[in-house]
């Protein structure tokens, strides 16, 4: 694995400008080093937290450098691919027209377009269990809403071009929303509490409003 773009902070080290496969391998390699207090994958980076009372900055940096070689010897244990049921009813997807216009497609074709994307979980963040999905395709950027909503329902699916965001709980947000999934993304009664995990492949299956209502939807 080539390249060592490493940013140093007081008690964090950030490995930057990484491809998804490199992030997952470096994460797996970091799991074999007991010195890291936290290991946090990002969209194109990996953050590593250490205890400055145990490691000085140079020792932490050397451990991070070693990860690049160690990453070539490990096989990431990614979660199994998952298919999420999604309802594209216009009540659940109020921004479908906006998104379809940016994509240059008809609104009626948006569900099929969305289901055809090859997604993986790039990272979790913003809210507990909020999943940032990344598409392998080159997709035009879709801007955030000019006026973010004060309340977006749990399970809502937002789209910003290559990124697809899944809202785990009700709350504010500025992503254009195209539908709603019938699954709980974060449950403190489960281990782990988040349904999805970084590196996991995600696909979508369309269901009707009646099917959605019949499920134990969030």
Query: Nearest Cα to 134, choosing from 43, 39, 62, 207?
Result: 43
Please give the Cα distance from 90 to 97 (Å, whole number). Answer: 9
Supply the pLDDT for residue 68: 92
pLDDT at 2 over 70: no
Please give the Cα distance from 79 to 43 (Å, whole number). Answer: 17
pTM of the model: 0.84
The hierarchical CATH code for the domain 6-73 is: 3.30.1360.40
Residue 210: burial class (beta carbons within 10 Å; 0-12, 13-18, 19+): exposed
Supply the pLDDT for residue 43: 87
The backbone torsions φ and ψ at residue 203, rounded to the nearest 5 degrees and listed phi first, read: -125, 165
pLDDT band with cut points at 50, 70 and 90 for residue 127: confident
Q: What pLDDT, in 10s, does the model give residues 168-201?
A: 999 999 999 999 999 999 998 998 899 999 999 9
Q: Per CATH, is 82-214 categorized as 2.40.100.10?
A: yes
In the chain, domain spans: 6-73, 82-214
**Six token digits for residue 10:** 């007081």
Supply the pLDDT for residue 20: 86
Residue 53 is classified by DSSP as: T
């Amino acid at each position: 694995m080539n390249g060592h773009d490493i940013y140093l902070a007081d008690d964090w080290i950030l490995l930057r400008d990484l491809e998804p496969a490199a992030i997952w391998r470096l994460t797996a390699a970091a799991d074999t080093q007991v010195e890291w207090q936290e290991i946090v994958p990002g969209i194109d980076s990996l953050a590593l937290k250490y205890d400055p009372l145990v490691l000085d900055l140079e020792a932490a940096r050397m451990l991070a450098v070693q990860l690049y070689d160690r990453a070539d010897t490990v096989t990431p244990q990614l979660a199994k691919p998952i298919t999420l049921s999604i309802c594209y009813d216009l009540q659940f997807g109020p921004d479908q027209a906006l998104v379809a216009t940016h994509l240059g497609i008809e609104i009626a074709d948006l569900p099929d377009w969305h289901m055809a994307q090859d997604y993986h979980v790039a990272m979790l963040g913003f809210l507990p269990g909020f999943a940032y999905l990344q598409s392998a395709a080159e997709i035009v950027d879709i801007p955030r809403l000019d006026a973010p909503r004060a309340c977006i329902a749990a399970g809502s699916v937002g789209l910003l071009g290559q990124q697809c965001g899944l809202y785990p709980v009700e709350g504010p947000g500025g992503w254009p929303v195209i539908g709603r999934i019938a699954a709980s993304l974060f449950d403190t009664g489960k281990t782990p509490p988040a349904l999805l995990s970084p590196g996991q492949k995600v696909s979508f299956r369309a269901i009707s409003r009646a099917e959605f209502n019949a499920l134990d939807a969030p």
